[in-house]
Chain A
Amino acid sequence: MKITTETELAEAIGGAGGPVRVQGGGTRDIGRPVVGEVLEVAISGVQLYEPGALTLVARAGTPLAEIEALLAEQGQRLAFEPMDHRVLLGTGGRPTIGGAVAANVSGPRRIQAGAARDFTLGARFVDGAGRVIKNGGRVMKNVTGYDLVKLMAGSWGTLGVLSEVSLKVQARPETEATLVARGKDAAEGVAALAAALGSPWDITGAAHLEAGVSGGDSETRVRIEGLGASVDYRAEALQKEICAGWDIVRGDDSAALWREVRDVAPLADARVVWRVSVKPSAGPVVGAALAAAGLGHKVLYDWGGGLMWIAPDDRGGEDGGAALIRQQIAAHGGHATLVKAPAELRARVDVFQPESGALAAITRGLKQKFDPKGILNPGLMG
């Protein structure tokens, strides 16, 4: 069913006789496969854009491309740099802002600026009982009642279906540059990223691509953005203090390097890809431990080492590496999500990080309150 207004959305959910599969632009086929009637949220259009207040309010089904174009006209952008999942997953469709928020999709700038959840100031949604709910607003500071906006961000349509979001946007910087080193192993690369991130020079991207991920050599990349003279100054300071001998890539070439990282493009051919969030210094340790355990894989490290995109090779075995990867999470903390895998594998293993004890009970309790009939993307998150 194609939905074009919030009222229709409330009626469709309120009157649903069984499970529904919520779909925005249809680009993110992620999670346990859901059986249910497709509810296509095509409620589209930018409601309000105030460049002078850095805020934009859009209906949830508004294509991201439309929002990005509108922002670009005013020299602004979405700071959280949402990934385009079509590249990695080989899906079609058009990413929507509602989908980006519902999946809390954030790119390399997450480490400095924040995630989608940090830039979503307010939301309207329809819960599983068909109630229209609003929460938050369109201001950056707001502690008026509980923050359900954070809860909706990253709930993958299992608690409610977004109909509108308000966002904080960011001024596009004058320029950007990337410092690049080649040939470092993961431990050396991540250590260099930690040094850069611990400097006063305001790093907005810190990635390490293992050898063979993008070309032959490994690449360690550090991004800086801002006013022209400031970027020059910081690039020089970094080269002097931390990144001696690293190349400098500027402007559009720099932007292309980060689009590649954002979309995890180098792993697009992999059959199975995990997204693992750990303490940054634990990243290379986890990578080495998986290799030692016999899981052949390639890793793209983002977020200074704290975000690992892991593509196990065929030796990943029956479960796509799930048991080995989750063992590492148990040892080091963090969480692992099976972002890309054939549907039959996603049906067999936990796609999202399993919770235990009291936290699992809270999650169940919240789902029960928000979706008492259990009809919104049932089972998608496990």
Chain B
Amino acid sequence: MPEHFEAGPTPEDKKRILKERAAKLARAPEKEGAAGSLEILEITLAGERYGLESLYVREVYPLKSFTPVPCTPAFVLGVVNIRGQILPVIDIGKFFDLPHRELTELSRVVVLRSGAAEFGLLADEVTGVRLVAPGEIQASLHAVTGIRAEYLKGVTGDSLAVLDAVRILADKALVIDEEVAG
């Protein structure tokens, strides 16, 4: 039935189809860069990958030199000078009792900030940034890592443990406030 073929879709149909297609195409990117997807900074601690919400990461700074501060707990690496600001650096691996790693050229200070709380976390390496849909982070039922569940925000589909930056920043155990007993 050649007539039928020649007739094809009517102009109205064509318009409708094109519109539908356009709508589909237009929606796609919206879905991806979508509202609410989380940007996660991937770091390495004691050979394992962890994530940190980049919302709370002020900057990442190569650990060039640091000054140890005496009379502080072992999890305090020391202080660094970042553009004139003196910033404490916490060896979070040591705080979590993870196996010790030597400092290397890849060692990074991840400066976390939320409200007034601000300090650097020592990471063995920073491997990159990726986007994660918020639904993808699930509370882990059993500990997948050596880090206590209270410090974890959750675990992604490919079992990347995302640290709870807000919880860590607010943790009083990481605040040094000691007086010499009279």
A interacts with B: no
Interface residues of B (CB under 8 A from A): none
Chain A residues with CB under 8 Å of chain B are: none
